[in-house]
Structure 1
Amino acid sequence: MPEKIFRNWRIIVLTSLAVIFFILYSWYPFQVAGSTNFKFASPDETANYFWARQYAAGQELSYFEPLNIIANDAVAPRSARSDSGAVKPVSFLGIILIYGALAKIFGSGIIIYLTALLAAIGALFFYGIIKRVFNENIAWLSALMLFVLAPYWYYASRSMFHNVLFIDLLLGGIYLLITNGVTPADLTKRAYRQWLLVFSSGIFFGLAIITRASELIWLGPAALISWLFYFKQTDWRKLILFLVGIFLALMPLFYYNQILYGGALNFGYNAKANNYLTPPSVAEKSEEKIISVNKIKNFVLPFGLNFKNAAKHFLYYYPLMFWYLFWPALLGAMMFLYRYQTRDKKQRLYFINFVAVSVIVIFFYGSWKIQDNPNPAGITIGNSYARYWLAMYVMSLPLAAMFFTALGNLFKPARLRTAIIAILIGASAAFNIQTAVFNPEEGLMAMAKSIIQDERRVNEIKAMIEPRAVIISERFDKFFWPEYKVIAGNLSSRAPLTAYANLVEQGAPLYYYGFIFPPQDLDYLNSRKLAAAGLQVEPVKLDEESRLGLYQVKSKK
């Protein structure tokens, strides 16, 4: 027994760390949910949580908003769309269906902790994968680094985003698939276990796809490359079973896409309603009768192809933001290439897929200018590039581990070698934790404090407005909805003015909550912009400390 424990000490330590990091990842959702009645920093998170609870309660993934009949479908939060009054999710449905299904069994209280749990388990899958591709030591170091990887930790804690869920489902699918490759004597004497592993792998891959179907842009090429590498060893029966597993996992998505969006392959993201959620070029072209080539281009490159933007964003969100991973990974990649001919087949496949995936995600996501941070100059982990490029960061870890190992091997005494590697891993962990947790602008501690403060301000506003009020807000709709009806917008745009006027005419209490208008801007709104629609705006409460104000939109007297 002691010998068996000694042989498996890495597994025992990693399992213990998985429990510890599940608790650490859960700190942020526990802190925020307990203090804000389940409010989130992003409208995507807010919507995903709302719809997951709806699904867990056995309710439909849509609701009817009667005011949208007169408001031209404007009454909806940012991460939802309204079609003739029917408000629906605009995100990929995977996280809603998976977490909602689990919440039906275990209760909705687990929803906000599921990503943290799966992230902890995902690190164990990652260890199993890298152990089979490289070796046990590289796998051990890679798994340790994944636990503390800043974007992984950050978005495991921001638990209603679907990026970490996608990565963990994919890791689970890959692990089950390559475990099937172990000889039957090593696995089990019963052949059906291998078939079960293949089928389960397909289920995991399918669940990953319904969680973020857009990742097929790189997952598809990576799968094709892998298949071509092992084409001669393909067991076609297992391949068919694998594809059956994928298809079965996709069926709930096809079903709800058909119900919600009118087609199995239609998604909320390509909606005509709420076009502010789609890049302008996509929104405009989706309504035109254009040739198939352009349609394919819009599907493959919805953000266009901009080499300058891609290079700039890559520089900001990898070498500069995560320099403590980039440089070790780059040096590890150079070491790998230096001895490329001596690498075995599976290691070459890993490296080729790493390069292919990195190039695709850099240009696919990097070409578009994404600014989630209210500060236009802010280069922070909260901007979407850090989660869109998560696969690239994770795949970099074994290369960084190779470099750390090589550096440690320069020292001959075994204890000194171990100490050097431990120092390198520890330093890397410290930088990652600083970025994910303690960064003063968008670290988890700063985010938790900001959300709690914003929720307290919004609660003061809620005490001043009618229960049936409609609130117009560009960034704070996530705090009012679903308790209140919201319009994701402002008072400066001409497009929704008719909707505002119709709501006021029908007697709906209409408010705007956002940054305080300077006196000249308020005069302009009342004398020209709103006056053209027969409206005026009056201040109700102005908070000079936060520079936020509540205004009521009324009929112009």
Structure 2
Amino acid sequence: ETANYFWAKNYAAGLGLTYFEPLNLIADDAVTPRSVRSDNGTVKPVSFLGIILIYGWLAKTFGPWIIIYLTPLFAVIGIFCFYGITRRVFNDKIALLSALMLFALVPYWYYAARSMFHNVLFIDLLLIGIYFLIDGTRIEQMKRIKTDFIFIFLSGIFFGLAIMTRASELIWLAPVMLITWLAVWRFPKPLRGFGNLKDCFLKLFIFAFGLILALLPMFYYNQVLYGGWFKFGYNRPAAVEAQSKIAVNNVNAENINGIASSPRSAVDLLAMTKRFMPAQINIKQAGKSFINYYAIMFWHLFWPAFFGGIWLLYNWKKIDNPQKLYLVVFIISSMILGLYYGSWKIQDNPNPASFTIGNSYTRYFLPMYIMSLPLAALLIIKLSSLLSFPRKRESRVNYNEIPAFAGMTVLIVIFLILNFQAAVWGKEEGLLTMKNNLVKDAELVESMFSHIEPEAIIISERFDKFLWPKYKVIIGNLSDKSHPQAYAELAEQGIPLYYYGFIFPPGDFAYLNSRKLAEVNLELEIIKLDEESRIGLYKLQVTSNK
């Protein structure tokens, strides 16, 4: 989050997407925070560049103040587009309920509030693109302007921007786009709506042109930063979301992170897809992830959507072709998302037994959650309709709909309450808890600043977002094998070097000074300890007996 904001703000100010850190020439490129990499001293983003370029361009136009508000703004636009899409596929009532449920959906607003993650922006750009695509098959002419071709072009633009924001989502988006295109040929109207064969291929060309045009900035900066159009800054395929893995105090970062010692080389998008191979799929882990982060955590969405899907399958011969396509796309997307992301073993929370909304699975599964909403809305409407009773002929008022409407209202209100409660007051990582923790951590870090020289480098494993870019940082926990020599080289140059993190137990502190750090002629000195939070500030000094 901090890195994306930093680069977007830099881009808006015309400072580009790199800066030079001379200390990395002697520190083996170690002086970087998370989500940033250094190649021979040139520091650059480790991220899909979409959010940086889009928000940076908008900030260049409106000012940097707008950056933190853009994701919530796009989230609101996404809801309206979702309503329009669902209205075309199902009906007005399902569309209204689905949009209302999306308005309260926990992971959607949780990550919209944490505004510098890619996921919500990707979803919203995709929803806008789909909305324009659908309208491109509906609105043929307006004031003698072929608006269908304009909308198709805009659809390609927004699809391209979505891919630029999270190219890894092509793992499920590409098959879905192919299936949808094939369905256009297989199904009769009203699904087709692309006109004759000539218009159909013309619209496909216009869509592809818009998509490629939107991707050109990504191709350019990938070439400039990483040496190839389809190369990205991640260290290796398994590191696509490496920043989500955190090491717990006194545990070797090599064992938990799994990427700390990997060579720093750009990753080709084609190579990243190799992760989606049978040898990489862990069915058991994927099943656990799906159950914990969907069926259990969001049971109030899962079960209504499940039985709504069952109803569609049961009535398969009666439902419209767009609804059939929607269900097929939903099932295929969910399977790919569940197997691909679910197979990863991700632990953002230091407590491995804790399943909370802040874990990355909830944002990876976001497309699946959102596509579930119309199915859940369908079930709510069907259940509510059971409460209606036959209308009396002599009655002018349709009283038979009142019980159904009341039942539907009660179910929706329950859904909204459960979501707001989880998003705002959720245990450990609800927005209110997160805000209080951030304020507390920021105050603690601020209290340490008086002990740290402006030119100092701070080693930290989890708190770099509070330190950088005010201070230069190195990601580490002093127990890993990656950077001890770099620490020694920096200390020899007279650069103040600190460690900020969890307090070391006496035995570990003694071990570091007698063995680990002693091997590179360094020793650890206690500067300040906060026993309440178990956070300490230490200074690394060159030993006198070198």
* TM-score when normalising by structure 1: 0.88
Match of 1:10 in 2: none
Following TM superposition, by how much is the alpha carbon of 1:320 offset from its aligned partner in structure 2, in angstroms? 0.6
Percent identical = 56
- Structure 2 equivalent of residue 199 of structure 1: 153
Cross-structure match for 1:459: 446
Is residue 41 of structure 2 the alignment partner of residue 85 of structure 1?
A: yes
Matched, 1:331 2:285: no
* C-alpha contact 1:270 1:283 (8 A) present in aligned 2: no
Deviations 1:18-62 (A, max 9, x none): xxxxxxxxxxxxxxxxxxxxxxxxxxx000000000011011101
Contact 2:138-2:148 within 8 A present in 1 as well:
no
Matched AA of 1:327: W
In 1, are the aligned partners of 2:235 and 2:259 still within 8 Å (CA)? no
Partner residue in 2 for 1:37: none
Deviation at 1:411, TM superposition (A): 1.1
Cα deviation for residue 421 of structure 1 reads 0.3
C-alpha contact (below 8 Å) 1:303/1:368 kept by paired residues: no
> Compared with structure 1, are the counterparts of its residues 551 and 303 closer, same or farther at alpha carbon in structure 2 (3 Å cutoff)?
farther
Question: Given the alignment of the two structures, is residue 385 of structure 1 paired with residue 350 of structure 2, yes or no?
Answer: no
Partner of 1:496: 483
Change (3 A) 1:128 1:52: same
Per-residue Cα deviation, 1:448-500 (whole angstroms, up to 9, x for no partner): 11001100011111121000000000000111000100001111112210000
Q: 1:285 to 1:505 in 2, by over 3 A?
A: closer
Aligned partners of 1:192, 1:302: CA distance in 2, in Å? 46
**In 2, Cα distance between equivalents of 1:54 and 1:73:** 21
Task: Confirm or deny: 8 A CA contact 1:310 1:367 kept in the other structure.
Answer: yes
Secondary structure class of the residue paired with 1:342? coil
Deviation at 1:344, TM superposition (A): 1.1
Q: Find the partner of 2:21 among 65, 68, 75.
A: 65
In 2, Cα distance between equivalents of 1:296 and 1:499: 30
In the aligned structure 2, how far is the partner of 1:298 from the partner of 1:143?
36
Deviations 1:253-277 (A, max 9, x none): 00111111111111012469x9965
| Aligned mate of 2:117, from 140, 161, 176 | 161
- 1:212 corresponds, among 166, 173, 177, to 166
**Residues 301, 481 of structure 1: alpha-carbon distance in 2 compared, 3 angstrom cutoff:** farther
AA matched with 2:156 = G
Q: Find the partner of 2:67 among 111, 115, 130.
A: 111
> Cα gap change, 1:333/1:283 in structure 2, threshold over 3 Å: closer, same or farther?
farther
> Counterpart in 2 of 1:98?
54
Q: Secondary structure at the match of 2:432?
A: helix
Q: Is the 8 A contact 2:8 2:52 kept in 1?
A: yes
- Paired letter, 1:377: A
Corresponding position of 1:442: 429
| Structure-2 change in CA distance of 1:271 and 1:296 (3 Å) | closer
**Pick from 171, 189, 208: which aligns with 2:127?**
171
SS at match of 2:341: helix
Deviation at 1:283, TM superposition (A): 8.1
Shift of 1:180: 1.2
Partner of 1:249: 214
Q: Is residue 317 of structure 1 aligned with residue 296 of structure 2? A: no
CA distance in 2, matches of 1:364, 1:429: 30
Question: What's the CA shift for 1:373?
Answer: 1.2
2:383 pairs with 1:396: no
Q: Residue 264 of structure 1 aligns to a residue in which SS?
A: coil
- Aligned length, in residue pairs: 507
Q: Is the 8 A contact 1:514 1:550 kept in 2?
A: yes
Q: Using the alignment, how far apart are the partners of 2:326 and 2:354 within structure 1?
A: 34
Contact 2:233 2:265 in 1 (8 A): no
State the Cα deviation string for residues 262-309 of structure 1 (Å, max 9, x = none): 11111012469x996597489869989xxx9x9576353599210010
Contact 1:303 1:365 in 2 (8 A): no
CA distance in 2, matches of 1:112, 1:300: 33
Contact 2:106 2:423 in 1 (8 A): yes
| CA distance 1:242–1:97, shift in 2 (3 Å) | same
Quote the RMSD (CA, aligned, Å). Answer: 2.2
- Out of 77, 98, 106, the residue aligned to residue 121 of structure 1 is 77
Tell me which amino acid in the other structure corresponds to 1:160: M
Residue identity matched to 2:448: I
Aligned with residue 203 of structure 2, among 207, 222, 238: 238
Query: How far apart, in 1, do the equivalents of 2:385 and 2:333 lie?
Result: 30
- What residue number does 2:392 align with? none
The 2-side partners of 1:163 and 1:379 are apart by 19
Question: Residue 19 of structure 1 aligns with which residue?
Answer: none
1:130 to 86, 92, 102: 86
Q: Deviations over 1:392-425 (max 9, x none)?
A: 0000000000000001100112111111101100
CA distance in 2 between counterparts of 1:302 and 1:408 reads 43
Which whole-Å CA distance do the structure 1 matches of 2:16 and 2:206 have between them? 32
Secondary structure class of the residue paired with 1:554:
strand
How much has 1:231 moved relative to structure 2?
A: 2.4
**CA contact under 8 A between 1:155 and 1:387: conserved in structure 2?**
yes
Three-state SS of the structure 2 residue aligned to 1:379 is coil
SS of the residue 1:550 aligns to: strand
1:440 Cα deviation from its structure 2 partner? 3.0
2-structure distance, mates of 1:503, 1:168? 45
Task: Name the counterpart of 2:197.
Answer: none
Deviates more, 1:373-382 or 1:88-97: 373-382
Shift of 1:188: 2.3
CA distance in 2, matches of 1:366, 1:340: 29
Paired position in structure 2 for 1:9: none
Q: CA deviation at 1:93?
A: 0.3
Q: Secondary structure at the match of 1:75?
A: coil
Amino acid at match of 1:298: K
Per-residue CA distance 1:83-112 (angstroms, 9 max, x = gap): 001111001000000000000111100100
Any conservation in 1 of the 2:30–2:474 contact (CA below 8 Å)? yes
Give distance in 2, aligned partners of 1:477 and 1:296.
Answer: 27
Q: Tell me if structure 2 keeps the 8 A contact 1:204–1:246.
A: yes
Shift in CA distance, 155/287, structure 1 to aligned 2, threshold 3 Å? closer
Task: Decide which of 424, 429, 437 is 2:416's aligned counterpart.
Answer: 429
What is the aligned partner in structure 2 of residue 41 from structure 1? none
Unaligned 5+ residue runs, structure 1? 1-44
Equivalent position amino acid for 1:211 in 2: T
CA distance in 2, matches of 1:87, 1:303: 34
More divergent stretch after superposition (223-232 vs 540-549): 223-232
- Say which of 255, 259, 269 aligns to 2:224: 259
Aligned twin of 1:30? none
The equivalent of 1:182 in structure 2 is 138
8 Å CA contact 2:236–2:262 kept in 1: the answer is: no
C-alpha separation between the residues in 1 aligned to 2:261 and 2:178? 31
| Aligned residue identity for 2:381 | T
Partners of 1:242 and 1:79 lie apart in 2 by 33
Higher helix content, 1 or 2: 1
Distance 1:282 1:553 in 2: 21
Q: Secondary structure at the match of 1:341?
A: coil
Corresponding residue for residue 31 of structure 2: 75
For residue 421 of structure 1, what is the amino acid of its counterpart?
M
Cα 1:147–1:295 change in 2 (3 A) is closer
CA displacement 1:105-125 (0-9 Å, x = unmatched)? 111001001000110111000
Q: Which position in structure 1 is the counterpart of 2:248?
A: none
Tell me the residue number matched to 1:148: 104
TM-score by length of 2: 0.89
